[in-house]
Structure 1
Amino acid sequence: MDTPSLAIVVPCYNEEEMLPTSLPALLAVLNQLQALNKISPESKLYLIDDGSQDNTWEQIEQACEEYRGQVVGLKLSRNRGHQYALLAGLENCCEDITVSIDADLQDDPSNIEKMVDEYHQGSDVVYGVRAARDTDTFFKRATAEGYYSLMRRMGVDLVFNHADFRLMSRRALDAMLEYRESQLFLRGIVREVGFPSSTVEYNRQIRIAGESKYPLRKMLSLAWSGISSFSTAPLRAITVLGIVASGLSMLMIVWVLSVRLFGDSAIPGWASILTPLLFIGSVQLLSLGVIGEYLAKLYNEIKQRPRYHISEKRGE
């Protein structure tokens, strides 16, 4: 087997405090793997600036000049979010294998060598899986594990305790890029590819500089993207609710008519107003889930708006 080229793809958002640490650490991994002849000298480090508001892009430009031919910088025209920045890097690299990792290096880059070894043993996708969540707060650990369990109950195939630290071969990456999802949830899309895969366990590190770029609001948004993109369970729940509500409405209609026809306590006009109101409401609830599910599928099929724009590219 020929020695493959490796692309390490790193989305960056306001990482001016972290880049002076992460850049040399990732370059050291590249150089070490090249020295061991596990990857070719054509391997590169891709740094994607996701519309940062600090000096992140200036540092990336400097790195491209200092390590010309080894570091490539991409700058998005505006902030599009972690998943889109990662996608931009994956779509613009041309190496044989890619490894995606966050700039905070909480996913220990020393495990990239283990991933490359798994690739040489036949794996097209290698998932970085956290061995434990000891560094998380109780709230984050409980919500994260609960979310993975919920997704599995909904029939979504996810790797437990895996985020976006992974290796992909060229054929697996090309297959993944054929998906044109309007709401990106890459860890779910990768599982849909279906090529041979394996896992590498690691202990998550503590961020040594900067701040987390995934507050609760963004975590909830990503979680909802995964649910809405890969499961119809919420829409089916609405359909079931519509059926139940329709049944109750029909019983109410029978009760209203019985009061009107067989009793003398009904106010004039009450039955003629309430009966069509209940009937229309039951039809609306019943059709809401069915129509919503159809429109959601149609929306994902026809929506092809640009997912990001690159304003600058350096290092090539």
Structure 2
Amino acid sequence: MHKVVSIIVPVYNEQYNIKPMYERVSAVFEKLSNYTFELIYVDNCSTDATVDEISKIIEFDENVKAITMSRNFGSSQPSNIAGLNNAAGDAVVIIDGDIQDPPEMIEQFIKKWEEGYEVVYGVRKKRKGSLARRIGYKAFYRLFKKMSYIDIPLDAGDFGLIDRRVAEEIKQLNENEMFFRGLRAWVGFKQIGIEYTRDDRQHGNTSIPFLANLKWAKMGIFNFSYKPLEWISTTAFFLTLISLAGIIYYVLLHFLKPDTPYGFSTIIVLILFLGAAQLLALGIIGEYVARIFNEVKKRPRYIIREVISQKDKTTDGQQD
């Protein structure tokens, strides 16, 4: 009996990458005689012809289906979870729709899965693209690993394979802000990484600008690290020591050298410094409070407008 591998592809304005992705995934499974695949495109409310391109493929291949969102839900994370909740395979692969991660790696993922690994992820040994982007991603992954309260693999994105059991565990995590690569590490199980070179985008333009990348990085850090709160406590402790030393110094100076002039500029500098430290502390606390606010509202992480396939069609308002 053939095993099924579900390929989840989150897309947004990727009309020129839909067919190449399908062709490359199909070529991989032509070599894997014991496996079949289902290809799930999850469209985050594209404004181009992305859905039309997917529909053309669905017409002649029943292994392909599309999930369209009711609106744009921001990052690819809600799309990942929507795909996961609709995947039926014995294993699930998540790969970005821009084809910067090579679909040909899926064959290597499956081999490791056959060896008993329940999570197989890609490690970006080298990535193409602009120097600033490469440096930024390298810096983030190292900062994230250092700050996180769990062991996060370096240079590992969402691209990878997870066993059905792992998929079911992740589906049970009812978090509003889903940071998939962090949750994949958190659930544990037997994991291994495979190094590869991440290509530059061949078609279209990136839908993730610099500020969106910063927001995404901040989400990962605040969801998997208590370090910023610990820094507030540490900073407060040292500021208290410095303040205490300053008080003792000025008291002694008053008795030992009563004629010593006192500087107005020093007072201004201290007020500005302490005010900035307090605002920074409030900003960090605010990040955690905002995430608590999002979680307690219990709004769905996404709303599906339509599921398009040869086998079934679900419309209007499926939520999670």
Q: TM-score when scaled to structure 2?
A: 0.80
How far has the Cα of 1:264 moved from its partner?
10
Residues 163-220 of structure 1, C-alpha deviation per residue, up to 9 Å, x if partnerless?
1110001101111122223322111110011111122222222322111222212221
Q: Return closer, same or farther for 1:292/1:14 CA change in 2, 3 Å cut-off.
A: closer
2:227 matches 1:233: yes
Where do 1:174-213 residues align within 5 Å? Answer: 174-213=168-207
Q: What is the match of residue 273 of structure 1?
A: none
1:76 counterpart residue number = 69
Instruction: Check conservation: 1:108, 1:204, Cα contact below 8 A.
Output: yes
**Cα distance in structure 1, aligned partners of 2:48 and 2:288:** 43
Structure 1 contact 74–314 (Cα < 8 Å) conserved: yes
Equivalent residues of 2:229, 2:285 under 8 A apart: no
1:139 maps to 2:139: no
CA shift, 1:291, in A, is: 7.1
Matched, 1:103 2:97: yes
**Of the candidates 118, 122, 125, which is equivalent to residue 112 of structure 2?**
118
Task: Tell me how many residue pairs correspond in the alignment.
Answer: 300
Letter in 1 for 2:232: I
Residues 241/70 of structure 1: CA separation in 2 closer, same or farther (3 Å cut):
same
Structure 1 unpaired stretches of 5+: 267-276
Which of 53, 59, 64 aligns to 2:58? It is 64
* 1:302 corresponds to: 296
Where does the alignment leave 5 or more consecutive residues of structure 2 unmatched? 262-270, 313-320
Between 188-197 and 124-133, the greater mean CA deviation after superposition: 124-133
1:224 Cα offset (Å): 0.7
Shift of 1:142: 2.0
TM norm structure 1: 0.81
User: Which secondary structure state, in structure 2, belongs to the residue aligned with residue 132 of structure 1?
Assistant: strand
Percent of aligned positions with the same letter in both sequences?
A: 34
Given residue 4 of structure 2, which amino acid in structure 1 is its aligned partner?
S
Letter in 2 for 1:99: V
Does 2:213 align with 1:214? Answer: no
Code of the aligned partner of 1:245: L
Give the structure 2 partner of residue 27 of structure 1: 26
Inter-partner Cα distance in structure 1 for 2:228 and 2:10: 31
